[in-house]
Copies of this chain bind each other. A is one copy, B any other.
Amino acid sequence: MSWEEKVSEKRSQLRSKIPKEWLLEDEVLQFLKNEKKDLNKNLDSLCSKLENEITNSTILKLREKLLAQELTCFQIINAFCHRAALCHQIVNCLTEIMFQEAFQAARELDAKRPAILPPLYGIPISLKDQCNVEGVDTTMGYLGRAFKPKTKGEESLIVQHLREQGAVLYVKTTVPSSMMATDTASNTFGITLNGLNQNFSPGGSSGGEGALIACRGSLLGLGTDIGGSIRIPSSYHGLYGLKPTYGRVPYLRVDNSFQGRELIPSVIGPLARDLDDLRYFMSIIVNTCKPWIQDVNCVPYHFDFDRIESHKDYVVGFWYGDGVITPPPSDIRALKMCEAIVKATPGFKAVRWQPPTELHKELHDIAMKADIADAGVEIMSEFDASGEPLIDILKLMVLGEETPTCTVNEWWTLNKKAYAAKTAYREYYNKFAPEDKVDVIVGPITLTPFRPGDMLKTTLRYVLLVNVLNFPSLNVPVTTINRKLDTLMDTTKALSSEDTMVMDYWNKLIESDDVEGFPVSLQIMSPTYDDNIVCKFGSWLASQLAKSS
Query: Which residues of A line the B interface, CB within 8 A?
Result: 252, 258-263, 293-297, 299, 373-374, 377-378, 405-416, 419, 422-423, 426-427, 430, 470
Note all chain B residues with C-beta closer than 8 A to A414.
260
Contact call A374/B416, Cβ cutoff below 8 A: no
Q: How far is the CA of A115 from the CA of B419 in the complex (A)?
A: 39
Question: Which of B295, B408, B430 touches A408 (beta carbons < 8 Å)?
Answer: B408
Question: Which of B261, B407, B419, B427 touches A407 (beta carbons < 8 Å)?
Answer: B407
Contact call A296/B409, Cβ cutoff below 8 A: no
Q: How far is the CA of A423 from the CA of B296 in the complex (A)?
A: 6
Question: Which of B299, B377, B470 touches A409 (beta carbons < 8 Å)?
Answer: B377
Note all chain B residues with C-beta closer than 8 A to A407.
374, 405-408
Q: How far is the CA of A372 from the CA of B260 in the complex (A)?
A: 18
Min CB gap A268→B, angstroms: 15
- Look across to chain B and name the residue whose beta carbon is closest to the beta carbon of A413: B260
Contact call A409/B415, Cβ cutoff below 8 A: no
Contact call B294/A419, Cβ cutoff below 8 A: no
Q: How far is the CA of A91 from the CA of B430 in the complex (A)?
A: 43
State the 3 A-B residue pairs at the shortest beta-carbon distance, nearest first: A260-B415, A260-B412, A260-B416
Q: How far is the CA of A422 from the CA of B296 in the complex (A)?
A: 7
Contact call A293/B430, Cβ cutoff below 8 A: yes
Contact call B260/A423, Cβ cutoff below 8 A: no
Note all chain B residues with C-beta closer than 8 A to A259.
412, 415-416
Q: How far is the CA of A408 from the CA of B378 in the complex (A)?
A: 11
Contact call B374/A408, Cβ cutoff below 8 A: yes
Min CB gap A186→B, angstroms: 22
Min CB gap A246→B, angstroms: 12
Question: Which of B262, B294, B422, B426 touches A263 (beta carbons < 8 Å)?
Answer: B262
Contact call A408/B409, Cβ cutoff below 8 A: no
- Look across to chain B and name the residue whose beta carbon is closest to the beta carbon of A253: B423
Note all chain B residues with C-beta closer than 8 A to A377.
409
- Look across to chain B and name the residue whose beta carbon is closest to the beta carbon of A411: B408
Question: Which of B294, B406, B423, B427 touches A430 (beta carbons < 8 Å)?
Answer: B294
Min CB gap A533→B, angstroms: 13
Note all chain B residues with C-beta closer than 8 A to A413.
260
Q: List 15 A-B contacts (CB under 8 A).
A: A259-B412, A260-B413, A260-B414, A262-B415, A294-B423, A296-B419, A296-B470, A373-B408, A374-B407, A374-B408, A377-B409, A405-B407, A407-B407, A408-B411, A411-B411
Q: How far is the CA of A405 from the CA of B411 in the complex (A)?
A: 11
- Look across to chain B and name the residue whose beta carbon is closest to the beta carbon of A528: B300
Min CB gap A28→B, angstroms: 47
Q: How far is the CA of A260 from the CA of B406 in the complex (A)?
A: 14
Note all chain B residues with C-beta closer than 8 A to A299.
299
Asked, given contacts A262-B263, A408-B407, A412-B261, whether A296 binds B374 with beta carbons under 8 Å apart, the answer is no
Q: How far is the CA of A406 from the CA of B405 in the complex (A)?
A: 10
Contact call B405/A409, Cβ cutoff below 8 A: yes
Min CB gap A259→B, angstroms: 5
Q: How far is the CA of A415 from the CA of B415 in the complex (A)?
A: 14
Q: How far is the CA of A299 from the CA of B247 in the complex (A)?
A: 12
Q: How far is the CA of A263 from the CA of B265 in the complex (A)?
A: 13
- Look across to chain B and name the residue whose beta carbon is closest to the beta carbon of A469: B296
Q: How far is the CA of A416 from the CA of B423 in the complex (A)?
A: 27
Interface centre among A259, A263, A407, A408 (most CB of B within 10 A): A408
Q: How far is the CA of A427 from the CA of B153 in the complex (A)?
A: 13
Min CB gap A443→B, angstroms: 19
Min CB gap A473→B, angstroms: 16
Note all chain B residues with C-beta closer than 8 A to A296.
419, 422-423, 426, 470
Min CB gap A458→B, angstroms: 28
With A296-B423, A296-B470, A406-B408 given, name 9 new contacts (CB 8 A).
Answer: A260-B411, A260-B413, A260-B419, A261-B412, A261-B415, A293-B430, A296-B419, A377-B409, A407-B408
Note all chain B residues with C-beta closer than 8 A to A263.
262
Contact call A409/B374, Cβ cutoff below 8 A: yes
Note all chain B residues with C-beta closer than 8 A to A293.
430
Q: How far is the CA of A387 from the CA of B426 in the complex (A)?
A: 39
Note all chain B residues with C-beta closer than 8 A to A373.
408
Interface centre among A259, A374, A411 (most CB of B within 10 A): A411
Contact call A405/B408, Cβ cutoff below 8 A: yes
Note all chain B residues with C-beta closer than 8 A to A430.
293-294
Q: How far is the CA of A430 from the CA of B263 in the complex (A)?
A: 29
Note all chain B residues with C-beta closer than 8 A to A295.
423
- Look across to chain B and name the residue whose beta carbon is closest to the beta carbon of A427: B294
Note all chain B residues with C-beta closer than 8 A to A419.
260, 296-297
Interface centre among A259, A261, A296, A413 (most CB of B within 10 A): A296
Note all chain B residues with C-beta closer than 8 A to A412.
258-261, 374
Note all chain B residues with C-beta closer than 8 A to A261.
412, 415
Min CB gap A289→B, angstroms: 14
Q: How far is the CA of A400 from the CA of B212 in the complex (A)?
A: 55
- Look across to chain B and name the residue whose beta carbon is closest to the beta carbon of A422: B296
Min CB gap A319→B, angstroms: 19
